[in-house]
Structure 1
Amino acid sequence: MQKIVLFASGNGSNAEKIILHFKKSSLGNVVAIFTNNPHAKVLEKAKHHDIQGVVFNKVELNDGTVLEKLDEIQPNLIVLAGFLLKFPEEIINFYPQRVINIHPALLPNYGGKGMYGMHVHKAVLDNKEIETGITIHYVNGNYDEGEFIFQKSVNIEDCITPEDVAKKVQELEHQYFPEVIEKFISNNS
């Protein structure tokens, strides 16, 4: 069974969908959730599902402390599910092609530093796009520039607010992210 570690900074709705998906799978399971936010609701979800929660700060992320904690777990896959900090190259290099992220837009558009959550959805609306979507990609040393694993689009012509766009994008995330992770594990085990 493959060990999955999730990184999240907020509510953890994607994290919970992934946890629930893998509770029914024989391929892998979520063994820990790492967060840089000690008040993140994702920690409540971890506790509810009896999954180890690991809280760290930005210094610990970059000074090797988080890498040491990951090394103790030996994950097969690291999934960034709403994690807002830049992921250290040291960890990426230690886990080559085993760190993936989901982005709430069709990259390469609307990616990069500062492009997350409602910032992305507002930019998409401001530019009068008729579609947006999700991109699941490998993590490299630059924001949102890793090789694509999966993309799915959705029509947003009927959306008036960034919240409308967010709802449609989140539906895609919840439907496809766990499935893509399972396929990734199946192809790489």
Structure 2
Amino acid sequence: MKNIAILSSHNGSGLDAIVEAVNAGILPLNIALVISNNTDAKVLQKAKKYGITCKLINAKTDPDPNRAIYELLKEYACEFVFLSGYMKKLSPLLTSGFTIINSHPSLLPKYGGMGMYGRFVHEAVIKNRETTSGVTIHEVNENYDEGKIILQKSLQIEPGESVDSLEARVKSLEKEAIVEGLALCLK
């Protein structure tokens, strides 16, 4: 069984999907570690509830957060890292040392890059009157949202779709995409 770490800055909804898939025997992974850069991140509370080791690493806790994360990932023998709304850019030290997977709430390359995350993506999709949206599971490199695409899942935008309804539908689609994407990486 391979070890995975989850990095998240806020809620870490991807953690829930991964825990459910591991518990159901769908993903042969051990969630070894959850790391957040945010003291108030709900993902830290979730990790404790699930009995998963969690750590806080940011510029206040460590002079070189990327190095500290790297050392922890090595200590916990993590082969994979999943970014569940992690809002910091990762250094090449991390991107070249581990298989890092991200979930992005659009069909990349559309609506990717710096500042394109969460609600901002859905607002842009609605503003530009797109007919489809979705989620992309991709490998992470040193550039925002430019790593190799593992899989994409799309949905049709409904007439009169709001930012809120699109966000909810994409989040629902994202949960299955995360599990499918990780399963592909494990093959």
TM-score bracket for this pair, using the shorter chain length? over 0.9
Q: How many Å apart are 1:11 and its aligned residue?
A: 1.1
2:82 is aligned with 1:79:
yes
Q: How many Å apart are 1:183 and its aligned residue?
A: 2.8
Amino acid in structure 2 at the alignment position of 1:167? A
2:62 is aligned with 1:61:
no
CA contact (8 A) 1:61 1:88 kept: no
Q: Give the equivalent residue in structure 1 for 2:3.
A: 3
Q: How many Å apart are 1:104 and its aligned residue?
A: 0.3
Matches within 5 A, 1:31-42: 31-42=32-43
Q: How many Å apart are 1:159 and its aligned residue?
A: 4.8
Matches within 5 A, 1:104-123: 104-123=105-124
Amino acid in structure 1 at the alignment position of 2:91? P
Amino acid in structure 2 at the alignment position of 1:124? V
Amino acid in structure 2 at the alignment position of 1:182? A
TM-score (norm 1): 0.92
Q: Give the equivalent residue in structure 1 for 2:104.
A: 103
Q: How many Å apart are 1:158 and its aligned residue?
A: 3.1
Amino acid in structure 2 at the alignment position of 1:172? L
Alpha-carbon distance in 1 for matches of 2:163, 2:33: 31
Amino acid in structure 2 at the alignment position of 1:68? E
Q: Give the equivalent residue in structure 2 for 1:183.
A: 184
Alpha-carbon distance in 1 for matches of 2:108, 2:91: 21
Alpha-carbon distance in 2 for matches of 1:105, 1:46: 27
**What stretches of structure 1 of length at least 5 have no aligned partner?**
none
1:136-171 CA-partner distances (Å, limit 9, x unpaired):
111011000001000010011335321111011001
Q: Give the equivalent residue in structure 2 for 1:13.
A: 13
Cα RMSD for the two superposed structures: 1.3
Amino acid in structure 1 at the alignment position of 2:183? E
CA contact (8 A) 2:137 2:178 kept: yes
Number of paired residues?
183
Alpha-carbon distance in 1 for matches of 2:181, 2:8: 18
Alpha-carbon distance in 2 for matches of 1:3, 1:159: 43
Amino acid in structure 1 at the alignment position of 2:24? K
CA 155–123 in structure 1, closer or farther in 2 if over 3 Å, else same:
same
CA contact (8 A) 2:6 2:83 kept: yes
**What stretches of structure 2 of length at least 5 have no aligned partner?**
none
SS of alignment partner, residue 76 of structure 1: strand
Q: How many Å apart are 1:111 and its aligned residue?
A: 0.3
